[in-house]
Structure formats: C-alpha cells, structure tokens
Amino acid sequence: MKLCRFLDSQNRVHTGVLSDDDKVLDLAPAEVSSITTLLEAADPLKRLAAIARSPLPRLDLSEVRLLSPVERQEIWAVGVTYLRSKSARMEESDFSASAYDRVYDAERPELFFKALPEKVIGPGDSVGIRGDATWSVPEPELALVLNSRGTLVGFTIGNDMSSRDIEGENLLYLPQAKVYDRSCAIGPCILIGRTEEEARQWAIHLRIRRAGEEVFSGKTSVGQIKRSFDELRQFTCRSQTFPHGVVLLTGTGIVPADDFTLEAGDTVRITIDGIGTLENPVVRV
C-alpha cells in the first residue's frame, strides 16, 4: 500500500492512500492525521488495511496536490554503495580517490546527514542547483523509511542533488556539495508491506529533459546495492536515536557522463518500479 500526503482545495494537509488507478483514498474521516502514527504502529500494513476497509472518500489524483511524504523524519544518506558511484567519484577527484576506494570495501559505510524534514521538496516542486557550482547532477536513490524503533517500515524515492565540482575539489566540502536549499526531493509516496528481497528486483530509471528534449536517460537495479538494508539500517541507528524516524537514501547507481551538468529549467524524472515516479523541475538557488 502507498501512503501519501496531499493538500485539499482549502490547502489543508491530508494523509491518503494512493491506488494504481490514480485515485487517492482520503484518510481524514478515519482520523488519521499523520503518516508517522501509522509507521509507528506494531504492524503498519495491518493497521492501514483495517482503516482502508471503512468507507472513505476516493478522490481523483488530478484534484489534489501531492506533498512529500516526510513529516518530522530526518533525512540521512549512504554513499558509494554502487560500483558506478565509486568509479565516478574516483574519476572526479585524484585528491579523494583513495577515500572512495576504501569506503566501498570498508565495514563501516559512508553515512551523511542530508536534510531537515522542513527542507525536503515534494513531487512537482523545484529542486535546486547551487549558484556557485559548475557541475550539478541529480542522484536517483531508493530511500528506506525507518520508524523511531529503527524498523524498516517502507520505501520511497529520493533525489540526493549534488554539486560534483565542489565535492571533487575537496572531500571536506561534501556537506556544501550535498546540503543546500532544495537539494533533497522525496516522494511521491511511502510504499509499505514490501520486503528487501522484493525491492532488490526493482529497477531505478532517471530521465532528464531540457527544452522538450531528453538529454539524459539511465537505468540501474536496486539489486546492485552492495550492502544489505539491515547493515545500512544498523549503522544509521548506531549510537543515535530518531524520535520521529528517519528516511535513508541508499546511494546512486546512475551517474551521467562527466560532460553533463544540470541546467535551470531542466526536469528530473525518477521512476522506481513498484513505487512510482518523482518528477521535479530544476532552479538555480
């Protein structure tokens, strides 16, 4: 089942369930006012299935505005989990190449803070490229949704927007390359009730359009992530609690060729089989 948040015509935030026929089941009459309360249930899928059996309004997706499904969760990210990410980063910087080489094989993964929930961009809103960057790319990533107990309760799509020139200049600039206004998009929903085994069968697609033309397309498979989800989950929750849960981006396996950079006005479209599509225009910030 796909959990979402949306705005009604009076700009009130609702929690809903997205169906494959582009309908949204409005959970407001069932008094479900947040996704987080469902994710905190002992069995979120069972709880949601029971709620969804009651008579609830079914709205057309075209009547509502989807928001990011993130409420108060922090956003963290893992890096260099795909061979493609390791090789791209080793090429972008002589200076940092050995660090990327080592972390790919090390027991401890690269983990970094990505965004506060209030800074996350939802479906259709603009993602940003930094005004002082010359080489900007989207990073299409499967995101794990963990509740406050650190249990993996769902999956969503994340875009870990990155400034490759800044990251490549010096590894210590990573927070500036990764964390800035509009650098993280998440959505369109949180898929619950699926296992890691199922998720590893999914493909991730990235398409970038400029002035009506496709200027990049690429594809990878979740199955190529080097580390298990449990390993990523455990390292994220080591010596750290997340009172509202955490959304963890699992790394990118799609890196455009080195002569490609995003431009303002481009559209980034990320699709993950089983979850849906996250599409955002690009602005310079």
Binding footprint of Mg ion on the chain (CB under 5 A)? 139, 160, 252
Report, in Å, the least distance between residue 100 CB and ligand DO4: 7
110 contact, one of ligand DO4, Mg ion, none, CB 5-8 Å limit per kind: ligand DO4
Report, in Å, the least distance between residue 157 CB and Mg ion: 13
User: Is residue 168 involved in binding ligand DO4 (CB under 6 A)?
Assistant: no
User: Is residue 92 involved in binding ligand DO4 (CB under 6 A)?
Assistant: no
Cβ–Cβ under 8 Å, residues 178 and 196: no
Contact with ligand DO4 (CB under 6 A): which of 38, 80, 166, 179? 80
Q: Which two tokens stand for residue 232?
A: 């990523």
- Residue 140 or 245: the one with the smaller Cβ distance to ligand DO4 is 140
88-95 contacts, C-beta under 8 A, 24 or more apart: 88/255, 89/167, 89/168, 91/258, 92/164, 92/167, 92/168, 92/258, 93/167, 93/168, 93/169, 93/171, 95/168, 95/169, 95/170, 95/171
Q: 238: which residues sit within 8 A by CB, 6+ positions away?
A: none
Contact with ligand DO4 (CB under 6 A): which of 117, 140, 251, 256? 251
Closest CA to 247 of 118, 84, 77: 77
- Residue 13 or 83: the one with the smaller Cβ distance to Mg ion is 83
Residues within the interface to ligand DO4 (CB under 6 A): 77, 79-80, 85, 89, 110, 139, 160, 167, 174, 251-252
